[in-house]
Amino acid sequence: MSLALFDLKGRRALVTGSSQGIGFALAKGMADAGADLVLNGRDPAKLAEAAKQFSKPVQVLNFDVTDHGAAREAIDRFEAEHGAIDVLVNNAGMQHRGPLEDFPEDAFERLLKTNISSVFHVGQAVARHMIKRGRGKIINIASVQTALARPSIAPYTATKGAVGNLTKGMATDWAKYGLQCNAIAPGYFDTPLNAALVSDPAFTSWLEKRTPAGRWGKVEELVGACIFLASDASTFVNGHILYVDGGITVSL
């Protein structure tokens, strides 16, 4: 009976930014748990290639997550044509590194649009339908930078702090409608977004010493947290930020 709480059969999940990295791993993991997947990304060719790697058919929904009107139109059309989106994973994100005193304004604005505005745009578009049904799961992808900071990524840190607080706000506003809105905050994972750091021996050495687990995370290690938050196992979990980070946020 307890394992049935984690079963995602009969649920449809939309994962933004799911052509690679964390988004792809979470989509695959939920598909393995029984969910029907809807992939989203900026590059149609890359997204189509990602869809081929699933053992069962998946749907693809191309729209710009940073465009409020495009997100709402795509979600409304999909719901009308295909039915409910039961789970939303707001994963789309980007990084830009540089000293804060010289940080380019256009890069700062792109970070805001991609990492935080998209969570609002897609989250609101999907929630409007979930509210009518009286149920739904929204999982936002935060970061250890929701709680911590490192040199050269202050704007990224600001966006991930905002993701954490927007998650709390979503839960506060929408729990009464039967929605559970939570966040997963990954630590340092070997992903395309972190490629420059992974290839830097000095950084990897620092990370291994700084993280109690002593290593980079593997994207597959985020799947369990996502299935938990997407399933009936978490029906009374709301506004929570679940750190999956090898212990880096709890250790000095």
Is residue 196 in some structural domain? no
Enumerate the H helices of 83-153 as residue ranges.
105-112, 118-133
Instruction: Report if residue 81 sits inside a domain.
Output: yes
56, 35 in Cβ contact below 8 A? no
- Asked if the structure places residue 175 within a domain, the reply is yes
pLDDT at 192: 84
Q: What is the CATH number of the domain that holds 102?
A: 3.40.50.720
DSSP annotation of 217 reads B
Q: Can you give the residue range of the structural domain that contains 126? A: 3-191+218-245
d(CA 145, CA 73): 32
Per-residue pLDDT of the chain (252 residues; tens, 9 = 90+): 588 999 999 999 999 999 999 999 999 999 999 999 999 998 999 999 999 999 999 999 999 999 999 999 999 999 999 999 999 999 999 999 999 999 999 999 999 999 999 999 999 999 999 999 999 999 999 999 999 999 999 999 999 999 999 999 999 999 999 999 999 999 999 988 888 899 999 999 999 999 999 999 999 999 999 999 999 999 999 999 999 999 999 998
Is 156 in the active site?
A: yes
Task: Write the Ramachandran bin of 250: left for phi over 0, alpha for psi from -120 to 50, otherwise beta.
Answer: alpha
Residue 243, classed as helix, strand or coil, is strand
Query: Which pLDDT value is given to residue 136?
Result: 98
Is residue 34 included in any domain, yes or no?
Answer: yes
Ramachandran angles phi, psi of 61, nearest 5°: -130, 105
Q: Is residue 145 part of a domain?
A: yes
3-state secondary structure of 202: helix
- Name the residue type at position 100: L
Cβ proximity of 160 and 143 under 8 Å = yes
The number of distinct structural domains making up the chain is: 1
Strands 179-186 and 59-60: unpaired
Q: Would you say residue 230 lies in a domain?
A: yes
Q: What is the pLDDT of residue 2?
A: 83
Q: How far apart are CA 106 and CA 110, in angstroms?
A: 6
Contact 234, 37 (CB under 8 A): no
Tell me, what amino acid is at 61? Answer: L
**Which pLDDT does position 1 carry in this prediction?**
57
Looking at residue 164, what is its pLDDT?
98
Local structure of residue 87 (DSSP, 8 states): E
In a domain, 204, yes or no: no
The single residue of 156, 177, 188, 243 carrying the catalytic annotation is 156
Angle at 229 between CA 223 and CA 234, to 5 degrees: 140
What letter represents residue 26's amino acid?
Answer: L
For residue 95, which of 216, 182, 191 has the smallest C-alpha distance?
191
- Domain annotation covers residue 72: yes
Distance of CA 101 to the CA centre of its chain: 29
